Amino acid sequence: MKDYKITNARIPGYLGMQQIEIGNGKIVKIAERLATANLPGVDVEGDWISLGGVDLQINGALGLAFPDVRMEDLPRLTQICDFLWAQGVDGFLPTIVTTSIDNIHRSLAVFTEFIKHQQPNTSQVLGIHLEGPFLNPQKRGAHPAAYLLPLTLDAVTSVCSKYSQTIKVITLAPELDPTDTIVPYLRSLGIIVSLGHSQANFAQAEQVFTSGASMVTHAFNAMPGLHHREPGLLGAALTQPHVRCGFIADGQHVHPAMLKLLVRAGKCSEGLFLVSDALSPLGLPDGKYPWDCREIEVVDGTARLADGTLSGTTRSLLVGVQNLVRWGVCDVGNAIALATISPRLALRQPAAPQIEIGDLYLRQSANLLRWHCDSRGELSWQRLQVP
């Protein structure tokens, strides 16, 4: 593979124009000036250059729901990875929502096998996100009540079984554990704990963040709102420097005005990250689709159950970036960082040492995205064309 450099690039996390040296298909160096006059160059003329997106909450695509996967679906998972790659997503956490333990174990077995044989130049499965079944019934949203489980050590070990190395994140409601032992146990297994679908108050959430929880699942949704006398789970998260909150930017789950407040309170990409929360009809047209034993209807990219309960989206991760810029929630660089840099940092273990932003880019694959903002403020992207 030919070595080259990229010039006149804006890069999330950097000030001013930068140059990027690419060697053997990897990012070698980023600086305002590079002593590489002999290298061919790609002048991006002030456009933004970024790593691809990382989606930490995606429930399915192309008609396949991740809780329903079977071994015969391995070729379909390859197709989904290729599809997400074409959508600018470098890696993702297939999310298994609340279902039976048998379904969870079957899905975990399939993904454990799939991860062993992943290929380059396609979106990578980075592990599994279990969203449930340890959720508060009062905040279960579209999760089926029949499969919710108590947050006990026996139940957790039964669900995780032999797949703890495949599970990357678990979303749970911390108030369901009066012993305050589950989060430290999950952390001992190397599993990142995210709080969500919860009625936890400020004190309860603060205690669990101290115990090792480091993420929040779809901020504002399926949790009490911010209140000036009881800040709640989200208020506790926004006061913790090690906690990052995921959020959905589809205009339905959270009003753009509230996203502006969230971005200010969460110091943008320092404390937040973007997710798609996309469901299995991602990549398919609007319409009615099966979802476990129920049915969802997708209208303008928003999926709801028959009773009107909001269940997710069918818009990919980078559409959220474009929405944030279109709505004026944050500037282009921060919007891109929320889908590319911040999710990568959120996946680092809470006890991991801090790293410089440049170290996050170095030695990464040079399958980069080029972003252009036109005179109307509309943001578009494409995979960077290599010379």
Strand partners, 298: 287, 303
Smallest CA-to-CA distance from 10 within 2, 22, 19 is with 19
- CA triplet 240, 233, 174: central angle to 5 degrees? 100
Identify whether the C-beta of residue 306 lies closer than 8 Å to the C-beta of residue 288: no
Residue 9 per-residue DSSP state:
E
The sheet that has 26-31: what strands, in order across it?
26-31, 18-23, 4-9, 41-43
Q: Which of 277, 300, 359, 374 is catalytic?
A: 277
String of DSSP letters for 199-250? ---HHHHHHHHHHT--EESSTTTTSPPP-SS--HHHHHHHT-TT-EEEEE-S
2: Cβ contacts below 8 Å, ≥ 6 apart: 40, 386, 387
Q: Which helix (H) or strand (E) holds 213?
A: none
Identify whether the C-beta of residue 317 lies closer than 8 Å to the C-beta of residue 88: yes
> Cα(92)–Cα(89) distance, rounded to whole angstroms?
7
Smallest CA-to-CA distance from 56 within 323, 344, 320, 280 is with 344
Q: Which two tokens stand for residue 290?
A: 């099966």
Q: Which two tokens stand for residue 149?
A: 């489980």
Identify whether the C-beta of residue 257 lies closer than 8 Å to the C-beta of residue 220: no
Active site includes 374?
no
Which residue is listed with tokens 């997503």? 89
Q: Which helix (H) or strand (E) holds 238?
A: helix 232-238
How far is Cα of residue 383 from the mean position of the Cα atoms in its chain?
A: 20
> Cα(52)–Cα(36) distance, rounded to whole angstroms?
25
261: Cβ contacts below 8 Å, ≥ 6 apart: none
The residues that are catalytic are: 277
